[in-house]
């Protein structure tokens, strides 16, 4: 493959991995009740659409979850790990302060030398990572990239805060992105507005060998909800305009899997039937940067998304960050 233009990036294969421990709403409610905290399956389903989530064992890290997801994507793509020349991992729950999860994963894959780095844009992380990889492939800086979202959000949940701890789960999703003479990724848009730091944050850090602040997730759910609904429609329309397509061209919508009500509201605003909405929030909960590639892989392996289908991916989350990618699968 030469670097002659036009050069595009195309998804060659997808993969995902969920840690085996599935926790139902009823089990979580029982756990919280032991600390005198009241919640119920009914409340969680009605407000979020979540029925269950997966939690990683205490010694399992983001790179541990990323590895089987990456291997499944490589196998689906028919690409050998040795042929990967770029690894980007989107995560907000890395194994350690440094090195990056991408470097740790590179070593676990047994490949050495290719560029590897993490992207931190919380629940928009995968859309950010995919856009960076797309740009690097288009420019000729990379030819075959592993782009992954991997999270162990259970590590940063405050199990004394029922307004957040029932929402999130752990998992990883991956794609192999390869250079192609035909698109592929049609258009993307990334945004951030740092004025909204306080509505969704994990305000802790390490300094002098000490943990400073509270490294547990805090969220003003209603404020995030309002912002999310507004930006998801706007960014989808901007990406469609850029690509010269209309909402009627979208075969499948994969929004960040945070809340079924936000997802259905977005589909409605884009005049799409909810049949075209890929939903995994019911079984995965909100897995932050992993949610979109996890949902993509489930839809591909489940036979919903077929080669040639047009797919809109949309992320929104802490930062405040948001973005979208339109692609021909």
Q: How far is the CB of 5 from ligand UT7 (least distance, A)?
A: 37
CA distance 205 to 213: 7
Whether the Cβ atoms of residue 86 and residue 102 lie closer than 8 Å to each other:
no
Annotated catalytic residue 196 = no
Q: Which CB atom, from 179 or from 262, has the smaller least distance to ligand UT7?
A: 262
Residue 164: HSE in the Cβ half-sphere, 13 Å Cα cutoff: 21
Whether the Cβ atoms of residue 180 and residue 133 lie closer than 8 Å to each other:
no
Annotated catalytic residue 256 = yes
Residues 6+ apart with CB under 8 A from 303: none
Q: How far is the CB of 321 from ligand UT7 (least distance, A)?
A: 9
Q: Which CB atom, from 106 or from 286, has the smaller least distance to ligand UT7?
A: 286
CA distance 24 to 41: 8
**Which structure tokens are listed for 280?**
């995994």
Q: How far is the CB of 66 from ligand UT7 (least distance, A)?
A: 19
Beta strand spans in 181-275 (E): 185-192, 200-201, 204-207, 210-213, 218-219, 252-255
Whether the Cβ atoms of residue 129 and residue 88 lie closer than 8 Å to each other:
yes
Annotated catalytic residue 165 = no
Q: How far is the CB of 44 from ligand UT7 (least distance, A)?
A: 6
CA distance 287 to 210: 27
Q: How far is the CB of 17 from ligand UT7 (least distance, A)?
A: 20
Which residue among the candidates 54, 114, 284, 286 is catalytic per the annotation? 286
Report CA torsion sign: 99, 100, 104, 109. Answer: negative
Applying CB under 6 A, the residues found at the interface with ligand UT7 are: 39, 43, 47-48, 123, 162-163, 166, 221-222, 224-225, 228, 258-259, 262, 286, 316-317
Look-up of token digits 């892989």 = 297
CA dihedral 231, 232, 238, 240 (to 10 degrees): -170
Q: Which CB atom, from 86 or from 232, has the smaller least distance to ligand UT7?
A: 232
Q: Which CB atom, from 139 or from 222, has the smaller least distance to ligand UT7?
A: 222
Which residue among the candidates 54, 123, 165, 259 is catalytic per the annotation? 123
* 3-state secondary structure (DSSP) of residue 191: strand
Q: Which CB atom, from 32 or from 111, has the smaller least distance to ligand UT7?
A: 32
For the annotated catalytic residues, the residue numbers are: 123, 256, 286
């Amino acid at each position: 493959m030469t670097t002659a233009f036009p050069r595009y990036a195309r998804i060659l294969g997808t993969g995902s991995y969920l840690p085996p421990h599935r926790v139902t709403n009823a089990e979580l409610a029982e756990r919280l009740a032991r600390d005198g905290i009241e919640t119920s399956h009914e409340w969680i389903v009605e407000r979020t659409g979540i029925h269950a989530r997966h939690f990683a064992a205490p010694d399992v890290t983001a790179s541990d979850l990323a590895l089987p997801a990456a291997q499944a994507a490589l196998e689906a793509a028919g690409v050998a790990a040795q042929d990967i020349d770029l690894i980007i991992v989107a995560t907000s729950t890395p194994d350690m302060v440094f090195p990056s999860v991408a470097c740790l994963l590179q070593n676990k894959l047994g490949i050495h030398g290719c560029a590897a780095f993490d992207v931190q844009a919380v629940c928009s992380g995968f859309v950010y990572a995919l856009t960076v990889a797309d740009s690097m492939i288009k420019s000729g800086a990379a030819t075959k990239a592993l782009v992954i979202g991997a999270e162990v959000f259970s590590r940063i949940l405050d199990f004394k805060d029922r307004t957040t701890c029932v929402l999130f789960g752990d998992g990883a999703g991956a794609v192999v992105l390869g250079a192609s003479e035909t698109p592929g990724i049609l258009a993307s848009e990334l945004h951030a507005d740092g004025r909204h730091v306080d509505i969704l944050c994990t305000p802790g850090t390490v300094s002098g060998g000490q943990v400073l602040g509270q490294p547990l997730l805090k969220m003003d759910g209603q404020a995030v909800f309002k912002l999310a609904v507004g930006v998801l429609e706007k960014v989808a329309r901007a990406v469609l305009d850029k690509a010269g397509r209309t909402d009627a061209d979208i075969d499948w919508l994969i929004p960040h899997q945070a809340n079924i009500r936000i997802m259905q509201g977005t589909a409605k605003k884009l005049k799409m039937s909810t049949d075209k909405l890929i939903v995994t929030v019911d079984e995965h909960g909100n897995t932050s940067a992993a949610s979109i590639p996890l949902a993509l892989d489930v839809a591909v392996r489940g036979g919903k998304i077929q080669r040639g289908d047009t797919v809109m991916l949309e992320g929104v989350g802490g930062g405040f960050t948001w973005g979208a990618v339109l692609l021909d699968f």
